[in-house]
Structure 1
Amino acid sequence: MDHLRYAGLSFEAQRAAFLAIVSTDPLLADALARVRALALPDWLVVSGALYNSVWNHLTGKPSGYGIKDIDLFYFDDSDLSYEAEDVVIRRAARHFEELPLPVEVRNQARVHLWYPKKFGQPCPRYTSSSESVSYFASRTHAVGVRYDGNGQLDLVAPFGLNDIFTFRITPNRVMDNQKTHEAKGARARENWPEISVVPWWD
């Protein structure tokens, strides 16, 4: 049960453990340094690459295990066209081409424009990258990091970190994302059998 050694601790203790794991993971350390150099407005590395790396560390798995990509958010409402976002995506693709995993870059200022067509329901018009994190299908996945102006890692975790450290995927019912919650939960359990998935209507 040593993988649960941070479960139930204070938020500050969990925050320190989380950032220590993230900052020393070889894949994430390299990715975050490259993201910082890209200098996108209001950027945030979010979700899977972060909590998967924590689970890898706590269960003795290698860096990068079970991680399919790195999700990079930024926020720029000066031009909401697809063409403007595509310029950034193409620039990022060249910037990250030496990383072993693809980096998925999305402007959170324009999610509300394509989300209804893709998912069949409306999406709020976000005002920052941090705000969008609080709408993820699972509260466990709602986590992001970036470097602040002093070069220190800053954490965004609107629901805290205890779900991550208890290996529990908990639904976030702010939107109707049951299918996403269940699909991601099932995939996570294939890689980390220590995980429990809380049913959407528990």
Structure 2
Amino acid sequence: MVTEQWMLEQLQADPDMMTVLAIIRDLDLADAWLAAGAVRNFIWNLLSGRSGFDETTDMDLVFYDPAISYEETQQIEQELKKKFPQYAWEVKNQVYMHQHSPGTAPYTSACDAVSKYPEQCTALAVRLRKDGQLELFLPYGTRDIEDFIVQPTPHFLASPERLAVYTERMKKKNWQRKWPQLEVRFPK
């Protein structure tokens, strides 16, 4: 059974994940997390009997800081790609990201943003705190990840426009190619 404790143990045991989490922590960005596919794919890979870390998966660094501009966020991403080219960095300041989700009010924190990602299995994040402890954010628990279920978050279910974005996204992603056991749900 996939529990928070099991996830934390798996993350802690993986040298690449711990390196990425330490890099993120050491940037000292406000409210910074490793999120979305970086964490989801790691768990799905483990549950599929593969090695958890996959260098082709985007390392989704999300943070929330109104003092950092969109351009500065892009600079942070470029610096990470230059300094740590072995990882596929994606850096997003969640202050600006609500604009990519139809009819969404500005987010109030990185966790607020993560909880409003398109799929429940993608709405998760982890960070390495200054005290060396890992902290997980799992607004929808572990069930969808454990059962290989892809379904929209309540935020995406609440709007026909957002649901259309979810549906289009699922048609393009083709995650079943990598994880054939996935069940992608399309609400009516």
Same-fold call, TM cutoff 0.5: yes
Deviation at 1:182, TM superposition (A): 5.6
CA contact (8 A) 1:26 1:63 kept: no
Deviation at 1:17, TM superposition (A): 0.8
Partner of 2:115: 134
Deviation at 1:92, TM superposition (A): 2.6
Greater shift in the superposed pair: 133-142 or 53-62: 53-62
Paired-residue identity, % = 28
Unaligned runs of 5+ in 2: 157-161
CA contact (8 A) 2:32 2:127 kept: yes
**For residues 167 and 38 of structure 2, what CA distance do their matches in structure 1 show?**
17
CA contact (8 A) 1:74 1:129 kept: yes
User: Pairwise CA RMSD of aligned residues?
Assistant: 2.2
Amino acid at match of 1:104: E
Deviation at 1:37, TM superposition (A): 2.0
Partner of 1:110: 96
CA contact (8 A) 1:46 1:143 kept: yes
Q: Are the structure 2 counterparts of residues 181 and 139 from structure 1 closer, same or farther at C-alpha, using a change threshold of 3 Å? A: farther
Partner of 1:146: 127
Deviation at 1:56, TM superposition (A): 1.2
Amino acid at match of 1:151: G
Cα deviation digits, residues 103-122 of structure 1 (max 9, x gap): 1001111224x42xxx6x23
Deviation at 1:34, TM superposition (A): 1.8
Amino acid at match of 2:82: R
Partner of 2:175: 188
Greater shift in the superposed pair: 34-43 or 138-147: 34-43
Deviation at 1:161, TM superposition (A): 1.0
Secondary structure at the residue paired with 2:121? helix
Partner of 1:3: none
The answer to whether the aligner puts 1:96 opposite 2:84 as a matched pair is yes
The answer to whether the aligner puts 1:85 opposite 2:73 as a matched pair is yes
Partner of 1:198: 185
TM-score (norm 1): 0.79
Partner of 1:123: 104
Aligned pair count?
182
Secondary structure at the residue paired with 1:174? helix
